[in-house]
Amino acid sequence: MKKIVFLMVAGSLLATACSDKKRKPSIVYMPDMYYATAYDPYEKATFGYPDYAESSDVPVFQRNHNMSALEPVEGSVPHNDGGILPWTLPNNNAGYEQSKSVTSPLNPANKEVDHKRGELLYKQNCSVCHGANGDGQGSIVKSKAYSGVPTFAERNITVGSVYHVIMYGKNAMGSYASHLTPVDRWRVAEYVMSLKNAGNDQAAPAETPTANVEPADSTASK
């Protein structure tokens, strides 16, 4: 009995007391279950076992030079405020003519807010040349430092063509694409059209107040 007790004590001392050997990590059977492979966005993605480097390419990343960051799906476009799609018409005469039939994507329900914002941005970016009411008599035109600015009333413009001109500029007028976000360009374009239409009202001032689409003079004066 004494022997057995002695052996047990000695045995437990042996088992607990010694040595560095215990600190060696034990074998991990399935490392990928404990240690997830972390990928940096533009790093070459592998399965993370250098020993098997030859076959470590991750199939889903192979078609993109093994980068773990995948390219956007073909045909996808960047998101922006207002969800405005990219302007695809080219910067040439054909593009300009086509732009005339493009309508504004802005939601008419937000008209008041859009109009206010359009007015603010027009005053900040455009009125120095075009004048606060679109008559082409902005302050730098009046000062004679700059000329050749048309009135909106005299131009055959639509909301789409105004957007096009903001995008690319036209002759002496430069592009304002870098000043205005896509949704703001539409707001300014709508504001320009409201100035043009207000100008038309003034051009035909004291005509019949009840006229709808057919002007009264088409029957009355001739």
Q: What is the dihedral of CA 105, 107, 108, 111, to 10 degrees?
A: -100
Q: Is residue 153 at the binding interface for ligand HEC, with CB under 6 A as the rule?
A: no
Which listed range, 45-53, 101-109, 127-135, 210-218, lies at the site for ligand HEC (CB under 6 A)?
Answer: 127-135
How many residues line the site for ligand HEC (CB under 6 A)?
A: 22
Among 45, 84, 159, 166, binds ligand HEC (CB under 6 A): 166
**For residue 34, which amino acid is it?**
Y
Q: Is residue 157 at the binding interface for ligand HEC, with CB under 6 A as the rule?
A: yes
User: CA-CA distances (angstroms) from residue 119 to 124, 127, 210?
Assistant: 9, 10, 29
Task: Look at the block and give the residue holding tokens 């107040």.
Answer: 209
In terms of DSSP H, where are the helices of 64-216? Answer: 93-99, 111-125, 127-130, 139-142, 159-168, 182-203
Q: Is residue 167 at the binding interface for ligand HEC, with CB under 6 A as the rule?
A: no
Query: Where does residue 166 rank: exposed (0-12), middle (13-18), buried (19+ CB within 10 A)?
Result: buried
- The minimum distance between CB 88 and ligand HEC, in angstroms, equals 19
With CA atoms as reference, report the closest residue to 150 among 166, 172, 167: 172
Supply the DSSP string of 71-85, one letter for each residue. Answer: PPPTT-----TT-PP
Q: Is residue 195 at the binding interface for ligand HEC, with CB under 6 A as the rule?
A: no
Q: Is residue 187 at the binding interface for ligand HEC, with CB under 6 A as the rule?
A: no
Assess contact for 39 and 68: CB atoms under 8 A.
Answer: yes
Q: Which string of x and - marks every residue 77-116 that binds ligand HEC (by CB under 6 A)?
A: ----------------------------------------
Q: Is residue 130 at the binding interface for ligand HEC, with CB under 6 A as the rule?
A: yes
In whole angstroms, what is the distance from residue 132 CA to residue 122 CA?
8
- The minimum distance between CB 91 and ligand HEC, in angstroms, equals 13
Q: Is residue 142 at the binding interface for ligand HEC, with CB under 6 A as the rule?
A: no
| Nearest to ligand HEC of 63, 142 (CB atom) | 142
**Which residues of the chain form contacts with ligand HEC (CB under 6 A)?**
125-126, 128-130, 146, 148-150, 155, 157, 161-162, 165-166, 170-173, 176, 188, 192
